[in-house]
Structure 1
Amino acid sequence: MHDTKQLITIKGTREGITLFIDESCSFNQAMNELHDKIISSRPKNDEPIVSVKVKLGNRYLKEEQEKDLRKIFNEENRFEIHSIESDVIRKEDALKWIEESKMKLVNRIVRSGQVLEIDGDLLLIGDVNPGGKVVSTGNIFIMGHLYGIAHAGVDGDRSAFIVASYMKPTQLRIADYLSRAPDYESDGVYMECGLIDEEQDKIIIDRLQVLSHKRKEISRFERRIQNG
């Protein structure tokens, strides 16, 4: 008598159930076994709808396959998918992620009326003059004077930050947060950073050292500098 390998493993959690789908079988095989298990374990109509977390391992679902999966976990069967997690992504998505995560190094002065826009993190070797503007979907590092406008996390990343060797900006923006220059004359500050403080619900300018505590991403920049 041969043991039949289980293609679907279901584990109960406090939040609901976690479903593991064997990555070596075909999708149709997994769905057939899943359908039988769900029908046999369907909660009664007077019980709460069960939240389901699906773990695919090294399997990628096409759009139609995901639709088929969601049809099984529906309100009629008293289940609801909370998340679908996979250890793999499409090649196109991977290439896009790599491109967006790269540090873009630019060696120039951003003069009045000029706008420098970058996908990913920006390392600018040079100044941003009054009237100049730098925009990035990631973090902004300026090895020079920031007199103009800097906008980090332009796509909505509130964890982004702005670093400058000398910071006296006309305006700082991070995601949808805005911080203008003070009305009074300021001398500016050296080696400071701008970031969103969630408790104060605003952009603050603080010592560069706070990044190692408040933004773990700074270690990526440190490694890039050390490794060249």
Structure 2
Amino acid sequence: MNEGSVIFKGSLNCLTIIMKEEEDYNSILKQIEEKIASSGRFFKGATLSVKYRGKKLSKEEERKLFELLRDKSGAKIKSLEEDTEEPVKVQPEQQPRPHTKIRMSNYYFKGLEEGITKFHRGTVRSGQLVSFDGNLVIIGDVNPGGEVCATGHVVVMGSLRGIVHAGANGNKEALVVALNLQLPSLE
């Protein structure tokens, strides 16, 4: 039995079950039952329309699948039907071309240029200085007493508890961004 023969995809009040066409029906039914059992109480109390695609099912197989979902999932199953909609295909001209700059519409990042960027992996500890002539991304924390200095933007992918100076060359547009900004207490 191929473990990847059944995929659940959910959207608002709808569950789509994607089944491999070449897989045996009883094997698929067993996989669906295992997925429901492993989902715990995820479906409990939900009201769902269920669609399936991939493997073609007879009316009897649909009935068995409906009963399995109704009896084992804890959800109220409104309907079960074959998904006849074609998946939406993205046209090549809609995809961004390589090296195309994509700008974020958020006001704070307006006009943000990539430029040269250095990635520093690890925690900046007390007494340590990390500096760079360009943008600087810290993949880790900046601890109290740690110092980060860059002529461009500074992004901290962790907690910022130390000192950060962005735009060290006078760039007043430079940003400091952190996942967790912790200001020192003034006591």
Tell me whether the two structures share a fold, i.e. TM-score over 0.5.
no
**Max Rg structure:** 2
TM bucket (normalised to shorter chain) is 0.3 to 0.5
Calculate the TM-score normalised by the size of structure 1: 0.31
The structure where helix makes up a greater share of residues is 1
Calculate the TM-score normalised by the size of structure 2: 0.37
